[in-house]
Amino acid sequence: MTQSKTDPRILRTRKLIMDSFIELSGKKEFKDITIKDITTEAMINRATFYYHFEDIYDLLEKVLSEVLLINLNGDSYEKGELNEGTFVSIFSAITNFQTSLSNRCHRGYEDTIARIIREQLEIIFYKMLLKQRPSENKQALNTAAVMLSWGLYGASVEWRRNSRTISPEEFIKPVIPYITHGMKTGLP
Amino acid sequence: MTQSKTDPRILRTRKLIMDSFIELSGKKEFKDITIKDITTEAMINRATFYYHFEDIYDLLEKVLSEVLLINLNGDSYEKGELNEGTFVSIFSAITNFQTSLSNRCHRGYEDTIARIIREQLEIIFYKMLLKQRPSENKQALNTAAVMLSWGLYGASVEWRRNSRTISPEEFIKPVIPYITHGMKTGLP
DNA sequence: TCTGTTTTGTTGTTTATACAACACATCGGA
DNA sequence: TCCGATGTGTTGTATAAACAACAAAACAGA
């Protein structure tokens, strides 16, 4: 798990698995996707799946993490810039991700997926906050990351509740000043 | 080499190598393509190349064989139908292949490539003739295949000599009746 | 010509993947 | 309820791929 990322075989296989999962997510609901489906689509052995991922939720985690990082502007992320573009990118990524998962009405799975999304959001926000303010109280940064992850996830729930009448970008942009510049001003 | 074709790892790796070679053929001349170029593009180890192919000419052979078989209509090939469509497909395939190799003026390589193309054509024609006439004298069928391969390759040389003023299909179609129905009639 | 550089093939060892077999869990229908 | 079928997760072994190191050939330039 340490230097394993450099072995081309590992990179290839993980990409095959992740891409197959994303592909299948567009075709059927999450609850109907089996490990066998994924490995068949990826043309790899089922045992190989378990070499890389604990289970399908572990895969979901890592796919989400990938999706979030890929959609983020590399520069902004490296610098920990929590600006408008960053929030828009992250919000778009999670709404797209949820839409492609097409998990509409399955409570049991939705809870797990929601938790995974919040966890990954929290990880990213914490890393970026840490880069932005390395000397700050870590406990405070962690709590801030937790609140951001719950808040942004909640916004995505609200966006879906509104039947996707406007784009994710339009939906999230107006509120970003409140996040970046505080509730008192709500202005950049 | 016997059942090796069924191992997914082998199929994957060979496809990666072949696709990379085809990709590189479009960018630079054959003589400038090194094994290292191919394996780098394919993201596989150089030693793995030699596990599958003897050298770059062996690869060329197998790529050409693939290209020819893929472009052939599966049905016609299975039945050994040497009809107009078959000849057009094969002729288009080899002209496209040569164009993508972009081997314009390098005599030494051109001879080797020409030999490989003729050999692969001969193999395909012999197989199809054998299916069409299983009871025929094998020596005669072999010689017929040799003549067809030389003839069709010669036609491709002539087509290039004419600076590709017409499409390969237009170029070869008028002469096909002479092949399929003989020189005496030249009519279907 | 000589010399340093690149490319070609090869070999031995380590690591990842394929595959088959297994126990167990889950689930839908008789 | 039971039962067959399907999915999950694990294990042992065979094989392919990665990697590093090597000698020899091909090559470019002084």
* DSSP string for residues in B70-125: HHS-HHHHHHT---HHHHHHHHHHHHHHHHHHT--S-HHHHHHHHHHHHHHHHHHH
What was the pLDDT predicted at A156?
Answer: 94
Interface residues 98-157 of B with strand C (CB < 7 Å): none
Specify whether the CB–CB gap between A61 and A112 falls below 8 A: no
What is the C-alpha separation between B130 and B121, in angstroms, rounded? 14
C-alpha to C-alpha distances, B184 to B141, B145, B179, nearest whole angstrom: 20, 20, 10
Q: Which residues of chain A lie closer than 8 angstroms to B44, CB-CB?
A: 8
- pLDDT band at B2, cuts 50/70/90? very low
For residue B37, give the nucleotide whose C1' atom is nearest its CA.
C7
What is the C-alpha separation between B116 and A9, in angstroms, rounded? 32
What was the pLDDT predicted at A71?
Answer: 86
What was the pLDDT predicted at B79?
Answer: 83
Q: Rounded mean pLDDT of B18-22?
A: 97
What was the pLDDT predicted at A106?
Answer: 55
Q: Is B43 (CB) below 7 Å from strand D? A: yes
pLDDT in tens, B38-90: 999 999 999 999 999 999 999 999 999 999 998 887 777 888 889 999 999 99
Q: Rounded mean pLDDT of B169-183?
A: 93
C-alpha to C-alpha distances, A175 to A86, B27, B100, nearest whole angstrom: 13, 49, 54
Model pTM score: 0.87
Chain A interface with B: residues with Cβ < 8 Å:
8, 11-12, 43-45
**pLDDT for B187 beyond 70:** no
Instruction: Report the candidate in A104, A117, A105, A146 with the shortest Cα–Cα distance to residue A129.
Output: A146
What is the C-alpha separation between A88 and A65, in angstroms, rounded? 16
Distance A64 CA to C12 C1' (A): 41
What was the pLDDT predicted at B108?
Answer: 63
- Single-letter amino acid, residue B45: N
What was the pLDDT predicted at B80?
Answer: 82
Per this entry, what is the length of chain B? 188
What was the pLDDT predicted at A1?
Answer: 36
What is the C-alpha separation between A181 and A187, in angstroms, rounded? 6
What is the C-alpha separation between B155 and B161, in angstroms, rounded? 10
Exposure string of B67-104, with b = 16+ CB inside 10 Å and e = fewer, is: bbeebbeeeebeebebeeebbbbbbbbbbebbebbebe
For residue B34, give the nucleotide whose C1' atom is nearest its CA.
C7
Specify whether the CB–CB gap between A175 and A84 falls below 8 A: no
Give the pLDDT of chain A (188 residues) as one tens digit per residue: 334 478 999 999 999 999 999 999 988 889 899 999 999 999 999 999 999 999 999 999 999 999 999 888 777 788 888 989 999 999 999 999 988 886 555 556 778 899 999 999 999 999 999 998 899 899 999 999 999 999 999 999 999 988 888 999 999 999 999 999 888 765 66
What was the pLDDT predicted at A169?
Answer: 95
What was the pLDDT predicted at B163?
Answer: 80
What was the pLDDT predicted at A4?
Answer: 47
What is the distance, to the nearest Å, from the Cα of residue A46 to the centroid of all Cα atoms in its chain? 25
What was the pLDDT predicted at B129?
Answer: 93
Which spans in chain B are helix H? 8-27, 35-42, 46-52, 56-71, 74-79, 84-101, 107-132, 138-161, 168-172, 176-181
pLDDT in tens, B97-145: 988 886 555 556 778 899 999 999 999 999 999 999 899 899 999 999 9
Q: Which residues of chain B lie closer than 8 angstroms to A39, CB-CB?
A: none
Please give the ipTM for the structure prediction. Answer: 0.85
User: Which nucleotides on strand D sit less than 7 A from a protein beta carbon?
Assistant: 6-12, 15-21
Distance A105 CA to D1 C1' (A): 31
Q: Which residues of chain B lie closer than 8 angstroms to A11, CB-CB?
A: 43
Distance B49 CA to C9 C1' (A): 11
pLDDT in tens, A80-132: 889 899 999 999 999 999 888 865 555 567 788 999 999 999 999 999 999 98
